């Protein structure tokens, strides 16, 4: 079972999945990416998907900014 949840940027964790699509009409199966690193930089939340030394995505959020993620339960 997976949970799609809305939470503040400061609550996002490594291994959450974030949508990195081109718009609301994009097929979401190919656009959810795993967050591999979470940083606090100058008061902003910096989320990284993929390999920081190679190809990766970046998201910048205010700590209280709302974001939707998928979080898989720990087994």
**Interatomic CA distance for residues 18 and 48, integer angstroms:** 10
**Interatomic CA distance for residues 33 and 63, integer angstroms:** 20
Q: Give mean pLDDT, residues 31-46.
A: 92
Q: pLDDT tens for residues 10-30?
A: 999 999 998 876 655 555 556
**What's the CATH number where 31 sits?**
2.30.30
Q: How many CB atoms lie under 10 A from the CB of residue 49? A: 20
pLDDT of residue 62: 95
Q: How many CB atoms lie under 10 A from the CB of residue 64? A: 10
- Give the number of domains in the chain: 1
Confidence band (pLDDT; 50, 70, 90) for 40?
Answer: very high
Domain of 25, in residue numbers: 3-71
**Interatomic CA distance for residues 43 and 57, integer angstroms:** 20
């Amino acid at each position: 079972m997976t949970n799609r949840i809305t939470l503040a940027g400061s609550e996002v964790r490594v291994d959450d999945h974030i949508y990195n699509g081109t718009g609301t009409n994009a097929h979401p199966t190919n656009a959810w990416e795993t967050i591999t690193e979470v940083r606090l930089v100058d008061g902003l939340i910096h989320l990284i998907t993929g390999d920081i030394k190679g190809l990766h995505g970046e998201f910048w959020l205010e700590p209280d900014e709302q974001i939707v993620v998928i979080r898989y339960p720990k087994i």
